[in-house]
Chains A and B, each alone.
Chain A
Amino acid sequence: MSGSLVGQRILRKEDHRYITGKGRYTDDIQQVGMTYGCFVRSPYARADIKGFDVSQALEMEDVISVLTGLDVAADGLGGLPCGWMIHSKDGSEMRQPVHPVMAAERVNYLGEPVALVVAETKEAAKNAAELVLVDYEELTPVVDVASAAQGEQLYAEVPNNTCYEWGLGDEAATDEGFASAAHVTHIELTNNRLIPNAIEPRAALAEYNSGTDEIVLHTTSQNPHLVRLILTAFVQIAPEHKLRVIAPDVGGGFGSKIFIYSEETALAWASKKLGLSIKWTAERSESFLTDAHGRDHVTKAALAMDSEGQFLAFKVSTTANMGAYLSTFASSVPTYLYGTLLAGQYRTPAIYVEVNSVFTNTAPVDAYRGAGRPEATYLVERIVEKAAGEIGLNPAELRRRNFIGKDQFPYQTPVALEYDIGDYEASLDKALEMASYETFEQRRVEALARGKLRGIGLSCYIEACGLAPSQVAGALGAGVGLWESGEVRVNPTGSVTVLTGSHSHGQGHETTFAQLVADRLGLAIEDVEVVHGDTGKLDFGLGTYGSRSLAVGGSALSVAADKVVEKGRKIAALLLNTEVDNIAFDAPVYKMMDSNETKTFQEIAFAAYVNHDWPSDNLEPGLAEKAFYDPLNFTYPAGTHICEVEIDPDTGVTEIVQFVAVDDFGTIINPMIVEGQVHGGLAQGIGQALLEQAVYDESGQLVTGSYMDYCMPRADNFPDFKVGMTCTPCTHNPVGAKGCGEAGAIGSPPAVMNAVINALGGVEIDMPATPEKVWRAVLSSQAQKIA
C-alpha cells in the first residue's frame, strides 16, 4: 500500500454533477413514447374488495390500460417474498401471508395498491385513477402493536396475528442471575415508528423491447441485483437474463430502497404485458403510505446487578410490528439484528430475549438506518443509565465497570456474536473529555439560574455491521449469502474502471472506492472511475445496507486490486525476462529485485493488452480481476455519544446544546466522508428522539401523512456536532474498516433521551420527546418534588 491516499480528506468526485444539476435520477429520465403509470390505492386499512369497475377510466382520453389485482392474479404472478426465514422457539417456521403485487380480494393496509392506470400523460393517468371504482367492504383493522395478538385474526394462516415467537440466549442462566441479584432495574419503553423519508421519492421506469424481449427497469434501489433476482426467480415476470435493472443516481435510501416493492414490480410486468415504456414516480403522500416504515417496538426488560454494580443478567421481552406483510428483510430486523446486540459493550454473562413479531393493518415495517441495532442500543443504554441512577453510581463509572476490556477480545457474547476487537474505554474517555463532562454540574446550575433545566446523557453503543459472513447469515436464516463482488478493470492506457456491487446513493463510494484502489495501485484518483448500480454492467452484487459497503464491497475491491498487482508481477516478469519471485510491486512501479530494471504500472497495463507473445500455459492476456469477498465475521463499530440538553420548563421545548460523538470505525479511507455519515446518522437519531413519529389512528388512517404533520428535522433543530474518532482496525478484513453509515442513528437516541430524562429529574418519557410530552413531564416532576 502506498499510503498516499488512504486517510485523506479528498473532495468527492461525484459532487460536480450534483451541484450543477446534472445528476440523473430515475424520474429525470424521459423517453420518446414513454407512458405514465398511476396507482389506485386503498383508502381503508382493511377491507374486502367486492369488485372493480374500470369502464369510466378506460373511456378517458389518452388512457391506454387499467390493470388491477385481478389481472395480477390471472397472470399468476408470485407474491413478494421475504428473504429471511425465522424459526420460532418451538422450531416452527415464521408465518408469511401472501404479499400480492396488487391486491385483488382484500386490502390490508392504507395505501396498498389495487390497480395501475397507464396513460399517455401523467395528468391523464392521474385523472383516470380517480375514475377507477373499487367496491370495498370495510373491515375492522388491527392497528395497535401491543394488542395485535389479541385482535381480530387478519390471515387464516396466521393465528394470533403472530409471525413468530423467537427467543435467543439461555433463559435458565438468566433467571439464576436474577435470583442472586442485589438490585434489579426494570424498564418499559417503546421504540417509535418512523418513516424513512429519503428526499427522492421512489420511482421506476420500465421499458420493454419486443425486439429483444428484454425489460430494462430503472428504479430507485440500493441493490439492483436483488431486485432482478426477486422479480425473476420469485415473482417470475421474466427470465433473469432478460431483465436488466439499473439504479441510476438515487436520492437517499436509509434502508427504504433496499426492498422490493409492488410498484416497480407491477411496472416491469405491465411494460411487458402492454409492450410499453412506463414511468411512475411516487408523490410524497405515496411515500408516506407505502415506503417501508422503521422501528415500532414495545419492550419490557430487566437488568440484574450485584452489590458492586456488576451486571449479572439481562432479560428482554419485545413485541415488534411487521405491518401488514413481511417486507424483504423485515423478519431479521427485530431478531438477529436486535437480539444479538443486547450485550452492548458489556460483559453481562447471561442474556435472554424473546421477540414476538405481529402483523397489523399498517404499512410493512423493515430496516431503517440501523435496523434492529438502534432498538437494541436504545434499550441497553436507557436501562444502564437508569440502573446507575437507582444505585447511585455515576453512569460513566457503571459502564466502565462492566465494559469488555480491550484485552478480552475476541469476546464471545451470550447472544451469538463474537466481537473481534474494540477499546470502549478509549471512546468513553475521549467523549467525556470532549464533552467537558467533569464540569457539567456548573453548567446545570448556571442554566437553572436562567430558568432552564439542563441534562446530560450518555450512550455507549455497539453495532454489528459489514453484513455478513454468508455461513453465519445462512445459519441464521438468510435466503442469500451476503458477500460482495468487485472488479478492478485496468484499461490499456493504465486508467482503471472499478466495478462494485455496492450501490452509492449519497455515501460517496465513487470517491472512497477510487481512493482505495488508486492508493493500492499508486494511481491518481482521477484515473479511477467507479461503476455501480447496473446489472447489465456488473457481476452479481448484494448492495448497500448494514454499513457494509467499505467493509465488504471495499474488501472485495482490495482483494481484486491485489490480484491485479499479482498478475502485473507475472507480466512484468515476462517483459523483464525473469522469474515472478524476482518482481516486487512498489506502487506504481514493478521492480526487479536483483537489478535496477523497472516497469511502470502503465507499461504493464499496456503490455497486458498489446503484447503478442504470451506463454500459453500459464499467463493470459488482459488485466482485469474480480473478487467475491465473503467476510469472516461481522464488524463491530462502537463508540460513546454524549448529549446535553436544555429544557424550557414553560414550553417543554428541548434544545440540544451540545452533542459529542466519538466513534471507532477502524481504518478510515476518507475522514471527510465518514464525518458526513456521522452527522447524517445523528440527525436521524436525534430526529427519532425529539421529533419524528408515524401515527395511525384507531381506524388505521395515517395521521402523520405529510410534511405538515410528520416532523422532519430542519437545520435549526441541531447545534454543530462535535465528532471524534478512535481506531482499532477490524481484524478480519483487508481494509481494516468497520462501517460508519448507521452509527449516528444507533448511538444518539439513548444519549438524547438520557439527557432529557436527566433534565427532568428522572421522569421517564418515550420518544419522541415533543414539547407537549416534556411539558407534562416537567409538571409531573415538579409535582413529585412538592410531594
Chain B
Amino acid sequence: MEAIKLQVNGRKRTVHCATNATLVDVIREQLHLTGTHVGCDTSQCGACTVHLDGDAVKACTILAAQCDGSTLTTIEGLAQNEVHHPMQQAFNECHGLQCGFCTPGMIMSAVDLVHKEEELSPEAIRSALEGNICRCTGYQNIVAAVVQGAAGMKEQQS
C-alpha cells in the first residue's frame, strides 16, 4: 500500500492504495468523484480525462503512486462557487452532450486545449479532440461548444 498526498479540487487529501492502482480507480473509488468515467481499457476513449498539475491526462493510464504531491482537478472541481465554468456552460448551450458519459472527459480536454492554444479553428478542434470518443453527438455540437467555451474563457480572463 502507498500513502499518496494529493490536492484534489482545492482540498488536501491523503489516500492509501495499492502500488498498481490507477489514478482513475483512486478518483472514483476512494475519492468518490464519480464524474470521471472509464469507457475503455486501452487509453483511447478519453472519458477519464482529468487535469494533473495543469495538464489534461487520461487517468486510466497513470498510476496513482506517480501522482504523489500533485494537484488534481476533476470535472467536479471545474465549476467555481456553483457557477458553471464557461466550457460547461457552452456544452449546455450548444447541446454538446447527449448521454453525458464522455462529457466530463470531453470538457476537461477542451479546457486544456484552450489553455494551450491561442487560436482554435473548428478544424483544429476536431483534430485536437482525436483522443476523446463520443458515440452520441456526431461531434458537431461539441466543436461548436469548444469554440464558444474558448470565447467565454477569454472573456472571463480579461
Residue in B closest to A670 when the chains form the complex, CB atoms: B95
Q: Is B59 an interface residue (CB 8 A)?
A: no
Is there contact, CB below 8 Å, between B97 and A15? yes
Shortest CB-to-CB span from A35 to chain B, Å, is: 14
Report B96-129 CB contacts with A as 1/0, cut-off 8 Å.
Answer: 0111111110010000000000000011011101
Is there contact, CB below 8 Å, between B74 and A252? no
Residues on the A chain within 8 Å of B44, using CB: 706-708, 712
Count of B residues near A, CB < 8 Å?
Answer: 56
Q: Is B62 an interface residue (CB 8 A)?
A: no
Residues on the B chain within 8 Å of A675, using CB: 95
Q: Is B2 an interface residue (CB 8 A)?
A: no
Residues on the A chain within 8 Å of B32, using CB: 30
Binds B, one of A58-66, A468-476, A643-651, A715-723: A715-723
**How far apart sit A22 and B125, CA to CA, in the bound complex (Å)?**
26
Is there contact, CB below 8 Å, between B47 and A199? yes
Residue in B closest to A200 when the chains form the complex, CB atoms: B101
Report A662-689 CB contacts with B as 1/0, cut-off 8 Å.
Answer: 0000000000110110011111100000
Report A501-522 CB contacts with B as 1/0, cut-off 8 Å.
Answer: 0000111100000000000000
**Contact with B101, one of A20, A251, A715, A720 (Cβ below 8 angstroms):** A251
Q: Is A93 an interface residue (CB 8 A)?
A: no
Is there contact, CB below 8 Å, between A199 and B74? no
Residue in A closest to B90 when the chains form the complex, CB atoms: A19
**Contact with A679, one of B35, B42, B75, B137 (Cβ below 8 angstroms):** B137
Q: Is A250 an interface residue (CB 8 A)?
A: yes
Q: Is A400 an interface residue (CB 8 A)?
A: no
Is there contact, CB below 8 Å, between B42 and A708? yes
**How far apart sit A21 and B18, CA to CA, in the bound complex (Å)?**
25
Q: Is B14 an interface residue (CB 8 A)?
A: no
Q: Is B40 an interface residue (CB 8 A)?
A: yes
Residue among B93, B130, B139 with the highest chain A CB neighbour number at 10 A: B139
Q: Is A249 an interface residue (CB 8 A)?
A: yes
Is there contact, CB below 8 Å, between A199 and B134? yes
Residues on the A chain within 8 Å of B37, using CB: 25, 199-200, 251
Shortest CB-to-CB span from B123 to chain A, Å, is: 8
Residues on the A chain within 8 Å of B76, using CB: 20-22
Q: A19-B107, A30-B29 are in contact. Are A720 and B140 (CB under 8 A)?
A: yes
Is there contact, CB below 8 Å, between A198 and B138? no
Q: A123-B18, A715-B126, A716-B127 are in contact. Are A508 and B98 (CB under 8 A)?
A: yes
Residues on the A chain within 8 Å of B127, using CB: 715-716
Q: Is B143 an interface residue (CB 8 A)?
A: yes
**Contact with B139, one of A24, A672, A708, A718 (Cβ below 8 angstroms):** A718
From 1 to 52 in chain B, residues with beta carbon under 8 angstroms from any chain A beta carbon are 18, 28-29, 32-42, 44-45, 47
Q: Is A714 an interface residue (CB 8 A)?
A: yes
Is there contact, CB below 8 Å, between A284 and B136? no
Residue among B32, B40, B84 with the highest chain A CB neighbour number at 10 A: B40
Q: A199-B133, A283-B41 are in contact. Are A20 and B100 (CB under 8 A)?
A: no
Is there contact, CB below 8 Å, between A19 and B135? no
Q: Is A56 an interface residue (CB 8 A)?
A: no
Residues on the A chain within 8 Å of B125, using CB: 715
Residue in A closest to B21 when the chains form the complex, CB atoms: A123
Shortest CB-to-CB span from B41 to chain A, Å, is: 5
Q: A22-B35, A680-B138 are in contact. Are A249 and B100 (CB under 8 A)?
A: yes
Residue among A12, A21, A676 with the highest chain B CB neighbour number at 10 A: A21
Q: A19-B88, A679-B141, A712-B133 are in contact. Are A199 and B101 (CB under 8 A)?
A: yes
Q: Is A438 an interface residue (CB 8 A)?
A: no
Residue in B closest to A29 when the chains form the complex, CB atoms: B34
Is there contact, CB below 8 Å, between A284 and B39? yes
Shortest CB-to-CB span from A493 to chain B, Å, is: 25
**Contact with B92, one of A15, A30, A676, A714 (Cβ below 8 angstroms):** A15
**Contact with A718, one of B29, B45, B91, B138 (Cβ below 8 angstroms):** B138
Is there contact, CB below 8 Å, between B42 and A707? yes
**Contact with A284, one of B36, B41, B75, B101 (Cβ below 8 angstroms):** B41
**How far apart sit A251 and B100, CA to CA, in the bound complex (Å)?**
7
Report A249-266 CB contacts with B as 1/0, cut-off 8 Å.
Answer: 111101000000000000
Is there contact, CB below 8 Å, between A16 and B126? no
**How far apart sit A676 and B141, CA to CA, in the bound complex (Å)?**
8
**Contact with A250, one of B39, B74, B99, B137 (Cβ below 8 angstroms):** B99
Is there contact, CB below 8 Å, between A199 and B143? no
Q: Is A285 an interface residue (CB 8 A)?
A: yes
Residue in B closest to A678 when the chains form the complex, CB atoms: B138
Residue in A closest to B18 when the chains form the complex, CB atoms: A123
**How far apart sit A679 and B140, CA to CA, in the bound complex (Å)?**
7
Is there contact, CB below 8 Å, between B136 and A252? yes
Q: Is A201 an interface residue (CB 8 A)?
A: yes
**Contact with B142, one of A27, A681, A715 (Cβ below 8 angstroms):** A715
Report A7-37 CB contacts with B as 1/0, cut-off 8 Å.
Answer: 0000110111111111111011010000000
Residues on the B chain within 8 Å of A15, using CB: 91-92, 97, 100
Is there contact, CB below 8 Å, between A716 and B126? yes
**How far apart sit A718 and B123, CA to CA, in the bound complex (Å)?**
10
Residues on the B chain within 8 Å of A360, using CB: none
**Contact with B100, one of A23, A197, A714, A744 (Cβ below 8 angstroms):** A23
Residues on the A chain within 8 Å of B135, using CB: 197-199, 252, 254, 680, 683-684, 712
Q: A22-B76, A28-B34, A720-B140 are in contact. List 10 more A-B contacts (CB 8 A).
A: A22-B35, A251-B37, A675-B95, A676-B95, A680-B137, A683-B135, A714-B129, A715-B129, A715-B132, A720-B143
- Listed from nearest, the 7 A-B pairs whose CB atoms lie closest are A21-B35, A251-B101, A18-B100, A506-B99, A679-B138, A683-B138, A506-B98
30 interchain pairs (CB within 8 A)? Answer: A11-B92, A19-B75, A19-B103, A19-B104, A21-B76, A25-B34, A25-B37, A25-B101, A27-B28, A27-B38, A201-B38, A249-B100, A251-B100, A252-B98, A252-B101, A252-B135, A284-B39, A284-B45, A673-B95, A679-B137, A683-B139, A707-B42, A707-B44, A712-B44, A714-B129, A714-B130, A715-B125, A715-B130, A716-B127, A718-B138
